[in-house]
A = this chain, B = another copy of it.
Amino acid sequence: MNGLPPDDSTTPGARTLRDVARLAGVSIGTASKAMNAGGRLSAETRAKVLRAAKTLDYRPNDLAQSLHRARSMTVGILSTDSIGRFTFPIVEALERRLFDRGIAIFMCNATDDPLRERRHIEQLLGKRIDGLIVTARRADKRAPIVPVARGLPVVYVFSYVDDPEALCLLPDDEGGARLAVSHLARLGRKRIAHISGPRHFEAVQLRAKGWRAALNEARLPVVDAKFLSGRWSEGWGREAVETLFGRGRDAPDALFCGNDQIARGALEALKDRGLSVPGDVAIVGFDNWNVMTDATRPPLTSVDMNLGALGSEAGAALLEMIGGKPLAGVRRLPCSLVVRASCGAHGPIA
């Protein structure tokens, strides 16, 4: 069954893709696809090849693969939605990373139109791109890129697909929420409400999960009525404050908001009600968008998704995949908390 010449078994480092294909009982083309993320193969075939590669301790030769592939030194970035505030720090960092390796980037906006997306991908394949980055306006689930079934390396960033073979890079929304809420709890806040965006967003669910986890960890009560889901706007922040504070008693002493716009609306509504921030109510936002965080009075404490790091990591991962390393799975990169005055960490401002 194992048709390898005997001397090969004594030099496992020198195994070739041909050896792997032989052991797995597949063609070299199939073995190559299996070793690269994104190839259209049955899970069974892929597993067989990966087992063979492991048995033989096979490691792809980056340089040989690159030469073999006759790389175009170009990659595509496909934005499934309009490029926006979240996408540009990602794309900028990615562009920088790839440019430093001599790779140029094709930019495509599919603006949520499947036909347009398909035409974009066909165009990119016609340009013989070495890899593809798929991103979106919000880190939400999308359909896998279908025609990329030719072993083309693909990285999904700020966007994810239901495919265990795909590599998806996302901010750790749950972890970010825990940072914010634990911080408020450590500052002595007891009734921490959470105002967020539309419930169908994965990020909204994960941030709410983080809020609950941090409350449990701090042994604070989790009151479901203190999680309000609405829009991503200042207007919603204002409305939610009316709901939370209109009841009179048991009003929150802290608000963790799903984005900075909600936080700003909430902050202004609190002031309109004669409440002080952070004296009466502490506030933490999400996104760390300087347009908002610098304009609120007091300046807004906020969770930063480190989108630049996300873009840079996506670029590095794509380079590895182009070099022949198969990568898959969901990677969530840590957020950080940027502390300003609205959370009361610098002492209450009456």
Enumerate chain A interface residues (CB-CB to B < 8 A): 74, 77, 82-85, 88, 91-92, 95-96, 99, 102, 104-109, 119-120, 123-124, 127, 233-235, 261, 264-265, 291, 294-295
Q: Taking CB as reference atom, which chain B residue is nearest A124?
A: B104
Using A83-B88, A233-B294, A234-B295 as known contacts, say yes or no to A123 and B95 having CB atoms under 8 A apart: no
Bound-state Cα–Cα, A108 to B233, Å:
32
Q: Is the CB of A261 within 8 A of B295?
A: yes
State the Cβ distance, A315 to closest chain B Cβ, in Å.
Answer: 13
State the Cβ distance, A104 to closest chain B Cβ, in Å.
Answer: 5
Which 5 A-B pairs give the minimum distances between C-beta atoms?
Answer: A107-B107, A234-B295, A104-B106, A105-B107, A83-B88
Q: Is the CB of B74 within 8 A of A82?
A: no
Q: Is the CB of A99 within 8 A of B108?
A: yes
Q: Is the CB of B74 within 8 A of A95?
A: no
Using A233-B295, A295-B261 as known contacts, say yes or no to A91 and B83 having CB atoms under 8 A apart: yes
**Which of B88, B95, B123, B291 is within 8 Å of A291, CB to CB?**
B291
Question: Within 8 Å CB of A77, what residues of B?
Answer: 107
Q: Is the CB of A127 within 8 A of B74?
A: yes
Bound-state Cα–Cα, A235 to B261, Å:
17
Using A92-B83, A92-B109, A99-B123 as known contacts, say yes or no to A295 and B104 having CB atoms under 8 A apart: no
Q: Name 9 extra pairs, CB < 8 A, besides A82-B92, A92-B109, A104-B106.
A: A83-B91, A83-B92, A85-B85, A91-B107, A96-B109, A105-B108, A107-B107, A234-B295, A264-B295
